[in-house]
Amino acid sequence: MVLSLQHFALGVPDLKAGADFYTTFGLDMAEGQDKLAFRCEGRDHDEILLLETGKSRKFHHLSFATDQAGLDALKQRLEERDIGLMDPPAEDLPDGLWFHDTDGNLVNVHVGEPQLLEAEPVAARNSPGVFARKGTRGTPPPDQVRARPRKLGHMILFTPDVGRQRDFYTQVVGMKLSDEIEGEFAAFLRTAGDSDHHVLALLKSDAPGFHHASFEMGTIDEAALGAMRVREAGYAHAWGPGRHGVGSNYFHYFRDPWNGMAEFYFDMDFVPGDLDWEAQEWTKKDGMFLWSADGPPPPDFGKNYEAG
């Protein structure tokens, strides 16, 4: 089993372009030899790695944390299926187990503690007939809005075989299925124990690749102000704002410099580890969105730019 999503890595042709994008998105950056590392404010581990490789962007690897018992059990399952182990592909990467999934994506699982977010106070809100906030202005002063992501919440990978990848990550890696979209169009997976609705999702495509990474914001105001900052910097708006059916979260997507995407999200479904959650099969329409300022997703929302 895995207990938390730690980071993902992309090979990119231009580190400076990545630095400009992800710092504008609100992440902190650290530099290393031939790579950049990014994390949300207050996190104790890197959440994105950019490696300078090749002439185009390419997904590089995905990293999870577990406990020692989980790592030992995973190693046994890998050995039973004759799935070979590898050395870390570069310096300064976690140890633990390195292996390939059924699409050839490189995966790391190492021993580490999930870092829980510190609880933040929830502002009182008025609703029809209910006045939790009386005699007080609700709009926060601009200088008090912390429009920066709190954590890397989830990511989506393209796959030519959603069912095969779903089975690998549930039966071998030890994740749990939360929901699916009909016709094996997409599958949404969470970690063992308490977890957001999904930390990894799999989306149908002709080839493997990176679709998007998503970052949790503290309020809708924060997500909107963060989106304004990204848009004013000249980055391409992709889709949103809106609200997904699967996961229930508010969303807003922007294109990165290589036509992947980064998402601001807020109010994701949460599944306690001891809950008998029943996975639901959604239609594409209902699963993708309840509403969106843009209407349906644009034609290229599901395009795999790594596939050419």
Domains of the chain, with CATH numbers? 4-114+149-297 (3.10.180.10)
The answer on pLDDT for 33 being more than 90 is no
- Mean pLDDT confidence for 179-186: 98
The token pair that represents 11 in the structure block: 């090979």
- Mean pLDDT confidence for 140-162: 93
- The predicted structure's pLDDT at residue 145: 87
For 229-247, how does the pLDDT look when each residue is reduced to its tens digit (9 = 90+)? Answer: 999 999 999 999 999 999 9
CA distance 146 to 144: 6
- The predicted structure's pLDDT at residue 144: 83
- The predicted structure's pLDDT at residue 113: 87
pLDDT band, very low/low/confident/very high, at 32 (cuts 50, 70, 90): confident
Task: Look up the pTM and report it.
Answer: 0.96
CA distance 260 to 238: 10
Residue 110: beta bridge partners? 65
- Mean pLDDT confidence for 76-83: 98
pLDDT band, very low/low/confident/very high, at 92 (cuts 50, 70, 90): confident
The token pair that represents 216 in the structure block: 């949790």
List Cβ neighbours of 7 (8 Å cut-off, separation of 6 or more): 45, 46, 47, 48, 49, 62, 63, 152
The two beta strands, 151-159 and 200-204, are parallel
The DSSP secondary-structure symbol of 144 reads: G
The answer on pLDDT for 54 being more than 90 is no
Contact 268, 197 (CB under 8 A): yes
